[in-house]
Structure 1
């Protein structure tokens, strides 16, 4: 029992990014004690199962945002590990063709078939979450790398295969990130950047690098996110299609936002809109950017305003976007509603924020997405400042462990 409680305390503490000392301080504050009689060493004993918190359980549960029952719950049996990219790829350069080719001759027909499967996976990601798609995505990536390394092909076919590996790595990395497998996603993204560069496709390399920068920005590596998003923009060259440049700038805006840098974030948003306005001038955009339009840029703009605590700008924009959004894209709908909930809380509208949060929780309940799960946790923490509002209190009581 004590080992289960200890494991739960540690997991919940780390989810909040707290040190053991911070948790000890929060417990003492919740108990109304002065002088922090519970210290870091005591928390360490709890987490290691050397001591059971007993009388401290209610305070622990309260500051960690769960019920006492959740703290006491036994650990779930470990699921079989998912395959990783390292399971599929050889040591050294994973894109180096084998000297002794064992596969058959590969022509453009195989490239076209791979292109269709990559696009199919991208379309599936519009309606399914990362947890549902991670296995088929990794299988496709393994097969594509094997086809390139083991088959015999001309230099042009090889270049087109590398391009498809790059596109596949971008969507597979995105799926892995949505499943909460960030280290795996980073390895996949880096593989994709290598493939795109070898294929001499700077636009694709910039898209993959921007996706990795987005992950950095969302996982506590804000400075790296800014640096990589900026690098993707600067390395793309002058001939990049306007829609691709708009996406790079979109990533730059978000990276600066997460780093707390409002002015460069707003400037990048303006430049992204200007770039997208040039998309009608006849320059063909890559097929994988089919989803990027003015509506998506408005979504990012509204999210930036929310993160910068400018609810009077964020709320109307989010309502406009959500009123026109495709309701079949449940994950994105849940994510965008989550920013509306936070913006409403910042606008001192806790009742409506609680209502929108309930919708987010309902939509997220059957989605195997770490992104939506994390956003639910963010909203509920934000609403804790309105515990005196009946609607909020009822919501938090109904979902203590959400």
Structure 2
């Protein structure tokens, strides 16, 4: 867990949009000062050196970010956001308060995809500092739970007719991308899924379709965009991942597809937990449970309870974690083979066992003596069972299982076992491209510090250090 370092990084996003509209540093400084003067804002004294500092990563004070946003939006002809420019919004402006309308959903997703496809692959962990948390994230999402049912009408703009065969093709493509992500991680396939999402958005914007097809098309688009968000998260692109998730949630609301919406929210919850915000993760799970009530399948309900167990353990609420774990196991007994949605294919019994096993491992770190030993044993048994039953194509999950066992062994003081499982995880890094995995290795590196005085503990940390450096 824990936030990425907030060291000052060059603002590649601001530089990109300045380049797109041929904006020099002097001209941006002049236009910002002029726009501020027109609004009665004096004393800005913006000059070329200030702009150079922003490009190097300095954060301008209010109201300068708003003035920069207004200037570059006017120059590019695009409805840019603070996040597009790598700048913080002003107080109360979260960047995700978009209207829950069809037009806004298409515009938001299109803007994100266009921007991401054009930007070079140079951003670093500092992007995670742009992720919204707490009230700024959760309050705008509350409307999803109460979003109106589909009330669409046939599309009338000129364009080729879209039917259910096209929708089924999108769903098949989405399943293919999911399989690639599960096998090798999201890093390698992310650009391809973004390009495919852009193509689907053109169908929504320009195609002609009936109400029934339109609803199915929006649902398929939401699911595909959710995969794009997930791959961005797995690649460590946290800001773009969150914005894509939010826009995908809007698309799910347009389709009145609460199941896809709840699935997107659980993805967002995992991201919040990964970035060290377990309370926000719990709130997102609760929103998914409430908004999807009476519509969620047994597997989806079990998964949300399992995530609740893990997040409660992170906070240290061990009894609440165990209660949620019990509900997850009880609900999974109701799952019928072949009756679940395609986006739930990943959540099988090994996945449930692995999630609950990690909840026990995390809980053990909050406990002492026999209680700690009990949770370590339960964690080891569950994660080992998960690893033994994993399909071979679930390579990333297997890497996480080995990592989970390594952390469980450390929690029980077994450094030799931790070193063995860590080595097995590291052997998989060639076929698995996932920043989440390397982030977890970084956590294991810190957890092994108390054992650094031993030869095994020191060797374990050196292995991790070399492997993680090789992936940067």
> TM-score, normalized by length of structure 2?
0.63
Structure 1 gap ranges (5+): 1-12, 20-47, 49-82, 90-95
Distance 1:99 1:295 in 2: 44
Picking from 389, 394, 406, the partner of 1:324 is 389
Report how far residue 257 of structure 1 moved: 2.7
**1:129/1:331 contact within 8 Å kept:** yes
Distance 1:255 1:227 in 2: 10
Picking from 346, 350, 355, the partner of 1:300 is 355
Compared with structure 1, are the counterparts of its residues 304 and 133 closer, same or farther at alpha carbon in structure 2 (3 Å cutoff)? same
Aligned counterpart, 2:339? 284
Report how far residue 249 of structure 1 moved: 1.8
Compared with structure 1, are the counterparts of its residues 210 and 388 closer, same or farther at alpha carbon in structure 2 (3 Å cutoff)? same
Report how far residue 344 of structure 1 moved: 0.4
Aligned counterpart, 2:406? 341
Report how far residue 330 of structure 1 moved: 2.2
Distance 1:374 1:98 in 2: 46
Q: Secondary structure at 1:265's aligned position in 2?
A: helix
**2:154/2:210 contact within 8 Å kept:** no
Aligned counterpart, 1:149? 205
Aligned counterpart, 2:129? none
Aligned counterpart, 2:299? 243
Aligned counterpart, 2:424? 359
Q: Secondary structure at 1:209's aligned position in 2?
A: helix
**1:107/1:153 contact within 8 Å kept:** yes
Aligned counterpart, 1:389? 454
Aligned counterpart, 1:43? none
Report how far residue 356 of structure 1 moved: 1.4
- The range that moved more, 343-352 or 325-334, is 325-334
Distance 1:14 1:229 in 2: 20
Structure 2 gap ranges (5+): 9-55, 57-110, 118-151, 365-374
Q: Secondary structure at 1:244's aligned position in 2?
A: helix
**2:154/2:208 contact within 8 Å kept:** no
RMSD: 2.8
Picking from 115, 118, 122, the partner of 2:174 is 118
Alignment of 1:2-401 (within 5 A): 15=4, 84-85=112-113, 87=115, 101-280=157-336, 284-309=339-364, 310-401=375-466
Report how far residue 14 of structure 1 moved: 7.4
Distance 2:155 2:385 in 1: 57
> TM-score, normalized by length of structure 1?
0.73
Residues 183-240 of structure 1 deviation map (CA, whole Å, 9 limit, x = unaligned): 1111111112111111111111111111111111111222211111111011112243
Q: Which has the higher contact order (CA 8 A, sep 6+)?
A: 2
Distance 1:396 1:296 in 2: 28
Compared with structure 1, are the counterparts of its residues 400 and 203 closer, same or farther at alpha carbon in structure 2 (3 Å cutoff)? closer
Report how far residue 345 of structure 1 moved: 0.9
Compared with structure 1, are the counterparts of its residues 400 and 168 closer, same or farther at alpha carbon in structure 2 (3 Å cutoff)? closer
